[in-house]
Amino acid sequence: MKWKNLLKVAFKSIIKNKMRTLLTMLGIIIGVAAVIVMVAIGKGAEKRIQDQIASMGTNLITIFPGSMQSRGVRMGPDSGVRLTLDDVELLKKNATLIQAVSPMVRTGAQLIGGSGNWNSSVWGVSEQYLEIRDWPLSSGEFFSSADIRTQNKVCIIGQTIVKNLFANDDPVGQQLRVGKIPFRIIGVLKEKGQGAFGQDQDDLLIAPYSTVLYRMSGHVHVNQILVRAVSLEQMTQAQAEITSILRGAHKIAEGEDDDFTVRNQTDIAATAEETTQVLTILLTSIASISLLVGGIGIMNIMLVSVTERTHEIGIRMAIGARSRDILVQFLIEAIVLSLSGGLIGVLLGFLATWIVGLVTDWNTVIVPANVLLSFGFAGAVGVFFGYYPARKAAALNPIEALRYE
Amino acid sequence: MSGQHSVIRTEKISKVYDSGEVQVEALKGIDLTIDPGELVAIMGASGSGKSTMLNILGCLDYPSGGEYYLDGIHVNELDRDQLADIRNRKIGFVFQGFNLLARTTAFENVELPLLYSRLQESVDVAQLTRLALERVGLSERARHFPNQLSGGQQQRVAIARALVNRPAMVLADEPTGNLDTRTSIEIMATFQELNRQGITIILVTHEHDIADYCKRIIEFRDGRIIRDQEVARPRDARQDLEAGHWQASGLGDRP
């Protein structure tokens, strides 16, 4: 039989049982749509993490206090060890592969000013912070080393604070009470968007570390030290240099573990990416299972269809259909079923991805290769699960099939 | 080609159904020759072997023994696919239950054998289909579905389907079994007309009234042919219809 006629026969039989066809295809539709949405979400998360990690600043090295591990026993980050301003000064003085360095003192405070009040994080950093983070100002200026020396009460605010407190007027030059201390706003940061783990990076106030340390938090240790290495190629050497300087400063004997952790953003990126990849694989395999179940649904219906149409198969055989004609007819029917389901699934997948992007603030990235793959997989499911019923139809004995009512 | 051969020639055809312990011999060495242009009735009670014979003649089943030549082709040696091709090219089937595809128009039913034909590139499918419907007088009903046609019309669609591939013979299995008397005679009139045009027709029936319209009657009993005789003057279905004879025959309409 010609392809045109075979397709006609297949479509006719599919259209004949509309409800059944829809229910049969539902498995494939949901499977394909689920695969597309899951991969889109996974890829979106992956891409955002890559973007965010790139936006943390290039050649960034972060030093955390506390050993990750001490002779096999993991310690918490605050297990007695502290990074201090002396460490920062030592690095500044002795390290040769470092372009910029900044301590980071983190605290939180209620901000009062402008049109109301707002709770935000307060970061005390050095005048080199923006250089390390590749983070430009949108207006105003950054503080200087003189401001740090004098513990000047000046601050830079992020866009979220601008939106909440200074929606209508220019915040630069205005007063802002941070807790009980009045600060003068001298600059506004450019919008940075969400961080790699979904946090709002624009909800912060930056001030000289000396001001935060001595006027606000009251303690003398710093939460992190941020370093910008001179080049990407020398990251590893820079890390080694930092490690040896800090070991010297902390008087750590040969053979003992570090009481601090030095990490660069590549490590962080790798960890984050690994996490999202595992997530993507997990989500996709769950979605694939529904495709498989959809395939079994198709096989089930095709078997019913073969039984129902045994008499028709007998008639076709009597008037000269070869086994192959019957096989191809039922196989095409299964493939048309699964491919139509696949096509609807792709459209539904696009729609669902769009809706997910709309109602959540997750990134989604539709990968064309994945769409083609899941559509092709739907077709393969049709061939695989359609073959057995088609084979059964083709192997029928014409006399018995004719007698079947 | 068919001028040189008998349409059917069988030599000692036998068929044994083997159900493990019991062997049933349905056919016991049938020798049968049917020439082009014949109109043959095969008669017999159920269990006589006539259905088995029909399946073998129709290339739906293999004989257990003996030789079968259809239009000069030695059918015994053919495989399943070749048998399908033989059925497609050489045989037109007409069944008791019409066996039309449901939800498929008369036209599409009739063209079906052409679509399965392996020679279809060289023929005009639509033209042949129209001609076949014309021959059974159903040109006007081409776009109708089987459930929109009367029993007689459905059977004529089936006859058109049997004719469309220009087969060597038409095999009809109780073609009037589901029809009332008048329609039965109409169908026989159609067969007689086709036979006059040179088409070989073999029909299986258990009704003597129907067999009387045929030119030769073969009767089966217990797997053998017990009677094979020419009918000197077969009844003319057209005349019977004009004379209203089906009422005078005393049979009346069957339910």
pLDDT by residue (tens digit) across B12-56? 999 998 888 888 889 999 999 999 999 999 999 888 989 899 999
Verify whether the Cβ–Cβ distance A399 to B61 is below 8 Å: yes
**Residue percentage of chain B with pLDDT more than 70:** 93
Most B CBs within 10 A among A317, A319, A404, hence the mutation to make, goes to A319
Q: Which of A121, A222, A115 is nearest to A179 (CA)?
A: A121
pLDDT attached to residue A216: 83
Query: pLDDT band at A352, cuts 50/70/90?
Result: very high
Q: Is residue B226 part of a domain?
A: yes
Q: Residue B115: which of A5, A317, A322 has the nearest Cβ? A: A5
**ipTM of this complex:** 0.90
Query: pLDDT band at A198, cuts 50/70/90?
Result: low
Q: Is residue B12 part of a domain?
A: no
Q: Is residue B4 part of a domain?
A: no
Q: Is residue B21 part of a domain?
A: no
Arithmetic mean of pLDDT, A265-280: 77
pLDDT attached to residue B246: 59
Q: Is the pLDDT of residue B147 over 90?
A: yes
Which DSSP letter does residue B69 get? E
Which DSSP letter does residue B101 get? P
- Residues of chain A in contact with residue B116, where contact means CB-CB under 8 angstroms, are 1, 316, 319-322, 325
Q: Is the pLDDT of residue B3 over 80?
A: no
Per the CB < 8 A criterion, the answer to whether B57 and B201 are in contact is no
- Residues of chain A in contact with residue B104, where contact means CB-CB under 8 angstroms, are 12
- Which CATH number is B225's domain given? 3.40.50.300
Verify whether the Cβ–Cβ distance A311 to B104 is below 8 Å: no
Arithmetic mean of pLDDT, A224-251: 86
Q: Is residue B7 part of a domain?
A: no
Q: Is the pLDDT of residue A125 over 60?
A: yes
Name the domain count of chain B: 1
pLDDT in tens, B76-94: 889 999 999 999 999 999 9
pLDDT attached to residue A257: 78
Q: Is residue B75 part of a domain?
A: no
- Residues of chain B in contact with residue A325, where contact means CB-CB under 8 angstroms, are 116
**Residue percentage of chain A with pLDDT more than 70:** 94
Minimal-distance CA residue of chain B relative to A5: B115
Most B CBs within 10 A among A12, A14, A315, hence the mutation to make, goes to A315
Q: Is the pLDDT of residue B2 over 60?
A: no
pLDDT attached to residue A364: 86
Place of tokens 């055809």: B13
Arithmetic mean of pLDDT, A220-224: 84
Most A CBs within 10 A among B59, B112, B174, hence the mutation to make, goes to B112
Verify whether the Cβ–Cβ distance B120 to A2 is below 8 Å: yes
Verify whether the Cβ–Cβ distance B88 to A398 is below 8 Å: no
pLDDT attached to residue B120: 58
Verify whether the Cβ–Cβ distance A2 to B115 is below 8 Å: yes
- Residues of chain A in contact with residue B117, where contact means CB-CB under 8 angstroms, are 320
- Residues of chain A in contact with residue B87, where contact means CB-CB under 8 angstroms, are 317-320
How many A×B Cβ pairs under 8 Å? 60
The helix/strand/coil state of B199 is: coil
Question: Residue by residue, what is the 3-state secondary structure of chain A?
Answer: CCHHHHHHHHHHHHHHCHHHHHHHHHHHHHHHHHHHHHHHHHHHHHHHHHHHHHHCCCCEEEEEECCCCECCECCCCCCCCCEEHHHHHHHHHHCCCEEEEEEEEEEEEEEEECCEEEEEEEEEECCCHHHHHCCCEEEECCCCHHHHHCCCCEEEECHHHHHHHCCCCCCCCCEEEECCEEEEEEEEECCCCECCCCCECCCEEEEEHHHHHHHHHCCCEECEEEEEECCCCCHHHHHHHHHHHHHHHCCCCCCCCCCEEEEEHHHHHHHHHHHHHHHHHHHHHHHHHHHHHHHHHHHHHHHHHHHHCHHHHHHHHHCCCCHHHHHHHHHHHHHHHHHHHHHHHHHHHHHHHHHHHHHCCCCCCCCHHHHHHHHHHHHHHHHHHHHHHHHHHHCCCHHHHHHCC
d(Cα B88, Cα A316) in Å, to the nearest integer?
Answer: 10
Query: pLDDT band at A71, cuts 50/70/90?
Result: low
- Residues of chain A in contact with residue B85, where contact means CB-CB under 8 angstroms, are 320, 322
Verify whether the Cβ–Cβ distance A322 to B61 is below 8 Å: no
Q: Is the pLDDT of residue B255 over 60?
A: no
pLDDT in tens, A147-193: 999 999 999 999 999 988 888 888 898 889 988 899 999 999 998 87
Q: Is the pLDDT of residue A405 over 80?
A: no
Verify whether the Cβ–Cβ distance A312 to B117 is below 8 Å: no
Q: Is residue B50 part of a domain?
A: yes
Q: Is the pLDDT of residue B245 over 70?
A: no
- Residues of chain A in contact with residue B109, where contact means CB-CB under 8 angstroms, are none
pLDDT attached to residue A386: 92
- Residues of chain A in contact with residue B88, where contact means CB-CB under 8 angstroms, are 319-321
The whole domain housing B183 covers: 36-62+80-251
Q: Is residue B27 part of a domain?
A: no
pLDDT attached to residue B253: 46
Verify whether the Cβ–Cβ distance A320 to B99 is below 8 Å: no
Verify whether the Cβ–Cβ distance B101 to A315 is below 8 Å: yes
Verify whether the Cβ–Cβ distance B117 to A321 is below 8 Å: no
- Residues of chain B in contact with residue A312, where contact means CB-CB under 8 angstroms, are 101-102
Which residues in B have their CB inside 8 Å of a CB on A?
55, 58, 60-61, 80-81, 84-85, 87-89, 93, 95, 99-104, 112-113, 115-117, 120, 161, 165
- Residues of chain A in contact with residue B89, where contact means CB-CB under 8 angstroms, are 320
Verify whether the Cβ–Cβ distance B116 to A12 is below 8 Å: no
